[in-house]
């Protein structure tokens, strides 16, 4: 089994999609699938789910997290995710490609970067009045898309900007993120790790890219995040290993070589050291949303 990529759920992937903004109610798609959205990924879409009523479970990579309204769930591009909603669930799904953020007047991309860093705590509980404001913005965005009146592109992107900024503020204010997400060194390091984690494990590679010493980078990361830069690198490797073990039938020795381990036994030792179980045991116990 391979983890599927979709554009929107059930639609073929579109790697060339750009300047794309979409909003739809949760029931409009989920009710067609018995309120279950099987685990999948989007290559280039960032999604914000607004849970107005109801609840359920989200499978986020290999973890299953319960959620209850009112809540926000943020899904960055390429993140493995699936849902099992209660049939009483209502709310919105807002999807957009990252390039749309250029219209926000946010040249540095801080708004989108802040949303993408919610991977450790993707479910953010919020107050009912905050949800009412976000739902109203989503409804207005959807209306502008459907009616396509004069200037609707500007209106759609403006509503999206308001939603994205508001979600980022609520996440910051309610513990869904942390101050280090605004740190330029941490942001750049995470970007570098995402691009090179398969083949680059040594800290001096990342330190050189950031024009820092390895010791200086480690101290900075430890001060800002509570863990070392080396731990961030290893966490990303383990996340990818878990993803391939849980969502594919790829043999363990092939996963080891795909992640650039010298041999499968090295992969098994490293995985067990980080997780406490062997890759085979993890695969056998990996839970999925059916």
Q: Are residues 170 and 203 in the same domain?
A: no
Domain final residue pick, 128, 157, 177: 177
pLDDT band at 99 (very low <50, low <70, confident <90, very high): confident
pLDDT of 245: 92
Q: Are residues 109 and 190 in the same domain?
A: no
- Residue 268 is assigned to a structural domain of this protein: yes
CATH code for position 223: 1.10.10.60
Q: Are residues 38 and 100 in the same domain?
A: yes
- SS3 of residue 23 by DSSP: strand
- Residue 290 is assigned to a structural domain of this protein: no
Q: Are residues 97 and 9 in the same domain?
A: yes
Q: Are residues 97 and 202 in the same domain?
A: no
Q: What is the mean pLDDT of the chain?
A: 89
- Residue 76 is assigned to a structural domain of this protein: yes
pLDDT band at 289 (very low <50, low <70, confident <90, very high): very low
Q: Are residues 159 and 279 in the same domain?
A: no
Bridge pairing between strands 81-85 and 36-42 = antiparallel
Q: Are residues 192 and 171 in the same domain?
A: no
- Residue 13 is assigned to a structural domain of this protein: yes
CATH code for position 118: 2.60.120.280
Q: What is the pLDDT of residues 152-172, one digit of tens each?
A: 999 999 999 999 999 988 887
Q: Are residues 156 and 197 in the same domain?
A: no
176: exposed, middle or buried (C-beta count within 10 Å: 0-12, 13-18, 19+)? Answer: buried
- Residue 41 is assigned to a structural domain of this protein: yes
pLDDT of 177: 46
Q: What is the pLDDT of residues 129-155, one digit of tens each?
A: 999 999 999 999 999 999 999 999 999
pLDDT of 150: 94
127: exposed, middle or buried (C-beta count within 10 Å: 0-12, 13-18, 19+)? Answer: exposed
Its pTM stands at 0.80
* Structure token pair of residue 204: 């001096």
Q: What is the pLDDT of residues 4-50, one digit of tens each?
A: 889 999 999 887 788 899 999 999 999 999 999 999 999 889 999 99
pLDDT of 203: 94
Count the neighbouring beta carbons within 10 Å of the beta carbon of residue 100: 19
Q: What is the pLDDT of residues 54-78, one digit of tens each?
A: 999 999 888 899 999 999 999 988 8
Q: Are residues 74 and 187 in the same domain?
A: no
Q: Are residues 134 and 194 in the same domain?
A: no
Range of the domain at 207: 183-285
pLDDT of 218: 93
pLDDT of 133: 97
Q: Are residues 92 and 201 in the same domain?
A: no
- Please tell me the distance from the alpha carbon of residue 40 to that of residue 257, in angstroms, as a whole number: 24
Q: Are residues 150 and 71 in the same domain?
A: yes
Domain final residue pick, 154, 177, 200: 177
The total number of structural domains that make up the chain? 2
Between 180 and 101, whose confidence is greater?
101
Domain final residue pick, 144, 160, 177: 177
Please spell the DSSP secondary structure of 84-145, one letter per residue: EE-TT-EEEEEEEEGGGGGGGT-TT-HHHHHHHTTTSS-EEE--HHHHHHHHHHHHHHHHHH
């Amino acid at each position: 089994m391979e983890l599927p990529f979709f554009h929107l759920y059930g639609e073929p992937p579109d790697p060339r999609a750009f300047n794309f903004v979409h909003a739809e109610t949760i029931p409009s798609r989920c009710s067609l699938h018995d309120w279950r959205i099987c685990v999948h990924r989007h290559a280039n879409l960032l999604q914000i789910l607004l849970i107005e009523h109801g609840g359920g479970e989200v499978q986020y990579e290999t973890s299953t997290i319960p959620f209850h309204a009112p809540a926000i769930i943020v899904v960055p591009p390429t993140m493995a995710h699936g849902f099992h909603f209660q049939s009483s669930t209502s709310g919105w799904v807002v999807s957009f490609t990252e390039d749309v953020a250029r219209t926000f007047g946010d040249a540095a991309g801080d708004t989108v970067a802040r949303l993408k860093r919610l991977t450790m705590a993707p479910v953010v509980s919020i107050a009912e009045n905050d949800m009412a404001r976000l739902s109203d913005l989503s409804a207005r965005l959807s209306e502008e898309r459907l009616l396509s009146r004069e200037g609707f592109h500007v209106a759609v992107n403006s509503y999206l900007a308001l939603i994205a900024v508001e979600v980022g503020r609520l996440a910051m204010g309610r513990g869904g993120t942390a101050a280090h997400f605004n740190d330029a060194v941490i942001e750049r390091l995470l970007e570098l790790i995402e691009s090179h984690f398969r083949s680059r494990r040594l800290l001096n590679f990342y330190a050189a890219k950031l024009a820092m010493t390895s010791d200086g980078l480690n101290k900075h990361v430890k001060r800002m995040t509570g863990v070392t830069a080396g731990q961030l690198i290893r966490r990303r490797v383990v996340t990818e290993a878990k993803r391939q073990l849980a969502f594919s039938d790829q043999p363990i020795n092939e996963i080891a070589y795909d992640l650039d381990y010298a041999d499968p036994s090295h992969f098994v030792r490293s995985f067990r050291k980080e997780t406490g179980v062997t890759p085979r045991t993890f695969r056998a116990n990996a839970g999925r949303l059916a």
